[in-house]
Amino acid sequence: MHRVLPTTLLLVLTIITYSQEIVNSTMIWSSMEEHCQPWGSTYSTDYFRFDSDTVIDDITYKRVWISEDEDHVEWNFYGAFIREENNKVYYRQMFGEEGLIYDFNLEIGDSVLVNNPRAVGEIWLFLDEIDSVETTEGMRERWKLMSNEYPNSEYWIRGIGSQTGVLNSSSGIFGGLCGLFTLLCQKEDGELLYLNPDYQSCYLYTTGQNEWERRYNPIVLSYNKSQRNVTVYVAGKSEKDIVLSSITGQIISNVTTSLESKTLSVLNSPSGIYIITVIQDGNKYSQKFILQ
C-alpha cells in the first residue's frame, strides 16, 4: 500500500499539470503581425500574457495583456478576456460573446466548431494528423487540423497554441488574406520554452521596404487626456475616411471629412491600445496610440 500511494499521487499531479493547456499566468507568447500598406507588407512583434481574474456573466476569465516593446516591460490591457475549462479555451472581446478557440480533447478524425472572434468566421476543423515539435522541455504534440472548405492547414501545439499565434487559432485556415500572424516563441517564467525554427527570434523589427517608405505616414495624433479625445491631423483637402477602433477590431467611430484635422471622442472608451486608420486617395494608413 505504501508503494502504490506515491505512484497515485504522481499520476494526479501529472493530470493537474496538463489540465491547463493555454491559460497559464506564467506564460508569455510573442507573435509577428503583418501590416498591409499601399506599397506592400511590413511586420511588427507583439507579446501577450494572461493575468488578473475578471468575472463576466458569472464566468471567471483572465485578462489579455499586450506589450509592444522588445523587453516587454510595459503592458497594456488588450480589451479581451480568455478562459479554459476541460481543455477547451474560450476567448471574448470587450463587447461580444465568447467563442471557442481551442479544444484539446480531440482524437484523430474528430471535428470541432471553432468560433474565434478574431478570425473571419466560425469554421469546422477536423484533426487530421499528429506529429511533434521540439521544446526546451522535450517534444510536444503538434496537431494538424483541416477544413473541408479551405485547402490551408491549421497547427496547434499542446501547451503552446496555434502556430499563427496563441490568440489566432483558425485564422490561417482561410488563406488569401493580408494581415496574418505567426507565432515566434513562448516563454514560461521568463525562460524560453519554444522558438519558431523558421525565425529563430522572439522579436522582429519592421522590415520589407526602404526607410522612407517604411516611415512615411501622414497621420499625426494629438491626445487630450483631460478631455478624453484624440485629434487626427492628415494633410490634404481631399475627402478622407477616419476610423477609430480598438486593437481587437471594435469600431469606436467612423467619419468622413475633407478637413485636415478631426477630433474624435474617446470619453466612454476604456484604457488600452487603439488604432486610427485613414483612407485617403486610395491609400490606407494606420497608427496606434495608447489611451490612458
Per-residue pLDDT of 21-67, as tens digits, reads 899 999 999 998 877 655 556 778 999 999 999 999 999 999 999 99
Average pLDDT, the chain: 83
Q: Is 1 exposed, middle or buried (0-12, 13-18, 19+ CB in 10 A)?
A: exposed
Say how far apart CA 206 and CA 45 lie, in whole Å: 8
Domain boundaries along the sequence of the chain = 21-195, 217-291
The CATH code that applies to domain 217-291 is 2.60.40.3080
pLDDT above 60 for 131: yes
Q: How much is the pLDDT for 67?
A: 94
- 18 forms bridges with which residues in the sheet? none
List beta partners, residue 219. 234
Determine which of 67-81, 156-170, 210-224 has the lowest per-residue pLDDT on average. 210-224
Q: What is the pLDDT of residues 262-276, one digit of tens each?
A: 999 988 888 777 888
CB 48 within 8 A of CB 65: yes
The Cα 135–Cα 157 span in angstroms is 10
Indicate the pLDDT class of residue 214, thresholds 50, 70 and 90: very low
0.85 exceeded by the pTM? Answer: no
Range 101-116 average pLDDT: 97
Rg of the Cα atoms in the chain: 21
- Mean per-residue pLDDT, 132-144: 95
Percent of the chain having pLDDT more than 70? 83
Longest dimension (CA), the chain: 85
pLDDT exceeds cutoff 60 at 157 = yes
Closest CA relative to residue 26, chosen from 51, 45, 47:
51
**Residue range 237-250: average pLDDT?**
82
Cell triple for residue 176?
488569401
- pLDDT tens for 165-176 read 999 999 888 765
In terms of C-beta density within 10 A (0-12 exposed, 13-18 middle, 19 or more buried), how is residue 159 classed?
buried
